[in-house]
Chains A and B, each alone.
Chain A
Amino acid sequence: MDSVFQENTSTLAIRQTAPVVNLIYLCDCSGSMAGSRIATVNTALNKALAELIEFSDVYPKLKFQMAVLRFANTATWHIPPSPVEQLRYSPLVDTSGLTALGAAYDLLADYLIQVEEQASKLALPPLPPILILFSDGMPTDDVATALAKLAAQPLAQTSLRLAIGIGDQVDTAVLQAWIQAWQQKQPSVPKATKLAARQLAIAGSTLEVCELVSVFTAEAIGRLLTETQP
């Protein structure tokens, strides 16, 4: 099922006439996310898309792109990076298999490399991406190697990341590694007090998850506007 939604990321056109704000959601679709958990994720993402469309109206000089990367036995793009104005959210329905979080990190790293290459051709520095991870935190593949590869990317080092653990069996160590893996190497990243305090959140209900996603997205966009001044 993963291959059904697979997209060739090399064809993703990033024509930046205006600064692009990339919001990438990494969604755990393993068997442990079945039921209400994946429903919570779908609700939060649908709500986030609506808010991003509102943000695009508020900030017309910015171009907001949204992408959904799902991972179970493998990692694929459920929604490739696309302008939010053209998007209609399609929910994640298939939840089965293992948790290939490392594969998702690999795919994300490849995409960030591509974005950086496109930006270098346009002589326009890309904005740091906003990365949000939904998972119950129990990967079954090699996460460390893939995380090291991702952490080696400059865009990943400047990215704004949020990890939302869903459920009561969350492996916080995995989510903590996602947040703190390369913070030591990027001291220039400002520590937003409120944002930094909530980079890692454990959500038990749909409402909590939706609130976390909304708040984090808004604060991340505000931070980008403040620091980068596009």
Chain B
Amino acid sequence: MNQTVRYILKSIVHTHGLAFSRSQRLCNAYLADLMPDFPAERRQLVAAVADGLPHKLLLTQTSQQRKELALQFGQAHSIPAPQALAAAETWFYALKDLTRPQQAPSWLTLTTYLGGVLTGVVILLVGSAIAFYKKLDEPLPRQQASKQITLSLPQPALSKLTLHPFPTPLPSSVALPQPQPLAQAPMQAKPTVDSPFLLSLASPQWTKLDTLDTERESIQSVLLQTQPLASFETPVRLAKPEPEPELKLESNSKSEPKAKPKLEPITQPKPQPALKAVSVAAQPPSTRLSSPPEKPIKQATPSTPTQVTAKTKTTPTTSAANRTEIKPLFTKTAQAMQTLVEQVLRLRKKQADRAAVIQLLNLTGDTFYRQQLTELEQQIKQLQLRLDHLSGSYTMQVAKLCSSSPTGWQNGKLSNGERDNHKIQQWVLQDWKQCQGLSSQQIKQQLLTHYQILP
């Protein structure tokens, strides 16, 4: 049947509803007025209405049923089968968009409905599981793309990080730094643990470490770049004591320093009034009061570490013993530094991830990225707390190392137990600053020289 007839019939049905298809007279009048150029089609359509074909078509489910109805209609009105089929199809086309009468739900419909519901539930479960178990440590591809942009920026501080994992103790000739910058630092607010050696949240160390490079994805890459330093650390940390040949000074390093900013050569300590003061301070008050000023210095300190170091200085055979005593401290300090650097790199990585997620969140406004951002911030907070603990531990190790060194005892505040947490932080920070321009070999040499473990 002509497509125009189909469209006209559909428009009439949509305008006047099903009532139009119930009245043969009305149908004839409308079709006569609106499709005067198709009298044959109009007659067939009106005949279909007279036969009640439109409503029968609405009750059918399959095309086969509609075909049977059309053939019956054609036989009843002496209309050829093709034309009867066309008339039935035209009526079905016009009526199919209207609301069908209520029908009993068939098994096919019910099965299709249940299948759709089950599919939706499965999709929801799988999506929820993926979202729940997805590790935030693994950045999304979009995050990676954004991160690459961030990380492509030059970060010159990386070399500084890799160069000073081992702070040199304070040289004896260097005066103790004044606590002025430390007093202005916000880290003095509240210590996070009870130990006096544990640092607070925002310490000068942390402020210094915050400028570290983040291009290194792991501590392994850092250690690979500082291979000379690693080769130096390994024998120190080993349980097997092979100290002497491994701890030899490697003066033929390829990376010679161009300049040593503010680093003065470590010199042997000289007897100074400060030594006396420290020794006196270490004595019991009664002893100090009763004994003369000269003798008690030598007599009152036989069991203190300062006395041991003094003996080491005076007796050449004590060098090996001193070196054996210092080695565990040195190993612990190296391990603490290594762990600290590792955590710093982790923190930098998390911060880079957070920046990427913030960019994605600003672009998309997606809830998923907001959740990721929240979790990242929690992880960063935990890492910062962890860094506080680690830096405190590292500071304590450095302090022990300094107190055990032949020159460290001259620093009365270190060896006398007046260990101010913030001052220690400042000392360590100053050590790091002094080591920034040095190569690992130079640091190693200074350490070995300072602790008198050179052969």
Contacts and interface: CB of A to CB of B under 8 A. Distances in A.
Interface of A: 30-32, 34-35, 97-99, 136, 138-140, 169, 171
A132 B30 CA distance: 23
Contacts of A31: 32-36
Contacts of B28: 138, 169
Interface residues of B, number: 10
B248 interface: no
B40 to A, nearest CB: 13
Contacts of A35: 36
Contact of A139 (B29, B34, B36): B29
B33 A97 contact: yes
Nearest to B34: A31
A30 B34 CA distance: 8
Interface of B: 25-26, 28-30, 32-36
B36 A32 contact: yes
A30 B33 contact: yes
Contacts of B36: 31-32, 34-35
Contacts of A140: 26, 29-30, 33
B200 to A, nearest CB: 89
Nearest to A141: B29
B29 A138 contact: yes
A169 B20 CA distance: 19
Nearest to B32: A32
Nearest to A34: B36
Given A32-B36, A34-B36, A35-B36, A98 B30 contact: yes
Nearest to A168: B39
Contacts of B29: 32, 98-99, 138-140, 171
A61 B76 CA distance: 63
**Closest CB pairs A-B (n = 8):** A138-B29, A32-B32, A31-B33, A30-B33, A140-B29, A32-B33, A98-B33, A31-B36
B33 A171 contact: no
Nearest to A28: B33
A30 B36 CA distance: 10
Contacts of A138: 25, 28-29, 32-33
Nearest to B46: A169
Nearest to B43: A169
A136 B42 CA distance: 15
11 contacts: A31-B32, A32-B32, A32-B33, A98-B33, A99-B33, A136-B32, A138-B29, A138-B32, A138-B33, A140-B33, A171-B29
Question: Which residue among A30, A98, A138 has the maximum number of chain B CB atoms within 10 Å of its CB?
Answer: A138
Contacts of B26: 140
B44 to A, nearest CB: 14
Given A34-B36, A98-B30, A98-B33, 18 more contacts: A30-B32, A30-B33, A31-B32, A31-B35, A32-B32, A32-B33, A32-B36, A98-B34, A99-B29, A99-B33, A138-B28, A138-B29, A138-B32, A139-B29, A140-B29, A140-B33, A169-B28, A171-B25
A173 to B, nearest CB: 9
Contacts of B35: 31
Nearest to B30: A140
Nearest to B42: A169
A203 B32 CA distance: 18
A34 B34 CA distance: 10
Contacts of B33: 30-32, 97-99, 138, 140
A30 B29 CA distance: 10
Contacts of B25: 138, 171
Contacts of A30: 32-33
A32 B38 CA distance: 11
A92 B33 CA distance: 16
A92 to B, nearest CB: 15
A140 B28 CA distance: 9
A127 B33 CA distance: 36
Interface centre among B26, B28, B29, B36 (most CB of A within 10 A): B29
Nearest to A167: B32
Contacts of B34: 31, 98
B86 to A, nearest CB: 21
